[in-house]
Structure 1
Amino acid sequence: MIAGLDHVVVLLEDIKAGVTAYETLLARKPAWTHAGEGADRVLFTLDNMTLELMAPSGFSVPADRIRNVIKLTGEGLASLCFATADIGKMHRRLDRVALKPDPIVEVDNSDDVSGATLHWKRTRASTELTRGVRMFFLELQGERPRSIPTDESAVLGLDHVVVSTEDPERAAALYGARLGLDLALDRTHQDWGQLMFFRCGDLIVEVVKRPVAGGDQAHDKLWGLSWRVADIEATRARLLAAGLQVSEARAGRKPGTRVMSLYSGTCGIHTLILERTPKGET
């Protein structure tokens, strides 16, 4: 039913600062810009998903709603929007598994630069029933334009989005049994905690129960992003030259991967850069 991850939303107070940060991090230009309904929105569309930056604009009920969310939870990852080929069937499934979806709405959105228009149908599950993670479901008519790379070491796409939980059993029931994502890995490590990988198109929704207890048992949290690149050393050199703080590249937890951590330039989002080793190489 879920075909993949259409986009993730990042809430920011300053849209210009966010665009500058992600133009640097991704080495890509924005693909879509739209101002209206109390918000400025800028989209970066990669190989397998879209990053939507959103900031309040002007003084209206929708703008104040965004400001209140930022005030309560801070800037950063705000919601997941899953892609589906049939919004009607998706809505019926969400209702059947008691996630209380909103009525389906139809949306048109135009790019302020090109004037191009996109149309989609959307619904939203009850946030309390999705353990505090805002989730939308979208049937898009047509394809989004891609973000143009500005460097050979540009980010290709998202490898995984990380959700932090204090109740892995209920989180697993939500992403697996109720949303229908395929559980590809369930592993526990004394240093990392419990890791569960759910396939979502060609990327992963990673649900993590960390070793340190004491968090909210009823509510999960969108925690971080891992971006996929072809050459991690070239990407590291580019980010260092741009003045970002990054770690050395190291072996990833998943065999056949190398990763590095970003400590700046992410708008406060926990961020990894990941390279998949070609098959046959060690």
Structure 2
Amino acid sequence: MIAALDHLVIGGSAADYETLLGRRSVDGHLRTGNVGLRFEADASGLRSLVFATQDLEKAATLLERRAVSTTRTDEGLALLGHGVAIGLCAQSEEAPSPLTVETAAAISSLDHVVVRTPNPERAIAFYAGRLGLDLRLDRSNPKWGARLLFFRCGDLVVEIAHDLKKGVSDEPDHLWGLSWRVPDIAAVHARLKAAGLDVTEPRDGRRPGSQVCTVKNGTGGVPTILIGGVGRWQGGG
């Protein structure tokens, strides 16, 4: 049913993300190698996930059979996943936005989008059972204080994170943060610092051979990290 994550809706304007991504917006939209960005004025943070499907009518029928309530929109279908706004649209072949910097200093693609949940079993039932996403990893790590669920979606991951210390509840899930892949973390770090962004120094990441840094502003209120030293996501931690 779901072929890919088509785009994210983020509060704010495209201007901040033109700087962050090193790309020029087209008609107010931006797109990296694997995901697009749309913007909602007078808001902040991640607003919604919009998945692509090859057949909207079949998707609507399947969701109805799986007891998922949907609403028709100009774009396709809209639904609510325990507090998270989710859309489905027809799959397209939109090209990445033009680069405004050298390739090494630009953000290439999305690695994962993070949803925080107080109820991981509920999240599994919804994202795997209702939406049909491929659960590739279910790992609890006391050192991180979290249980992490990785759902494969194209060449990126929808990561569901649960704070172990808070226990399980029926409170709503919420969209939280983004992790972007970069071809050269030193080059991207230097470019963003020169543009006036507050970016931490690169440090070793959890994946072997990776480095990460945190972007603390200029993201429309979205917690954001950059990951270098990794390629297309293959299902590891």
TM-score scaled by length of structure 2: 0.90
Counterpart mapping for 1:156-235 below 5 A: 156-192=108-144, 193-213=146-166, 217-235=170-188
1:191–1:211 contact (8 Å) kept in structure 2? no
Query: Over aligned residues, Cα RMSD in angstroms?
Result: 1.9
2:29–2:38 contact (8 Å) kept in structure 1? yes
Structure 2 CA distance for partners of 1:238 and 1:255, relative to 1, 3 Å:
same
**What whole-Å deviation, never above 9, does each CA across 1:188-225 have from its counterpart, x for those lacking one?**
11132101110011100000012441796331010001
Q: 1:26 aligns with which of 9, 21, 25?
A: 21
2:11–2:220 contact (8 Å) kept in structure 1? no
* 2:200 partner SS: coil
Letter of the structure 2 residue corresponding to residue 159 of structure 1? D
Runs (4 or more) in structure 1 with deviation over 6 Å come to none
User: Does 1:50 pair with 2:65?
Assistant: no
1:158–1:227 contact (8 Å) kept in structure 2? yes
Which of structures 1 and 2 has the bigger CA Rg? Answer: 1
1:165–1:217 contact (8 Å) kept in structure 2? no
Match of 2:94 in 1: 144
Match of 1:39 in 2: none
Letter of the structure 2 residue corresponding to residue 271 of structure 1? T
Counterpart mapping for 1:101-120 below 5 A: 101-103=70-72, 105=73, 107=74
1:158–1:203 contact (8 Å) kept in structure 2? yes
Structure 2 CA distance for partners of 1:215 and 1:44, relative to 1, 3 Å:
farther
| Count of residues in correspondence between the two structures | 229
Letter of the structure 2 residue corresponding to residue 209 of structure 1? H
Match of 2:190 in 1: 237
Distance 1:214 1:24 in 2: 39
- 1:99: how far off? 1.0
Match of 1:62 in 2: none
Match of 1:81 in 2: 50
Structure 2 residue runs without a partner (length 5+): 233-237
2:14–2:29 contact (8 Å) kept in structure 1? no
TM-score scaled by length of structure 1: 0.76
Letter of the structure 2 residue corresponding to residue 53 of structure 1? F
Structure 1 residue runs without a partner (length 5+): 13-17, 34-41, 57-69, 108-120
Match of 2:85 in 1: 134
User: Does 1:123 pair with 2:109?
Assistant: no
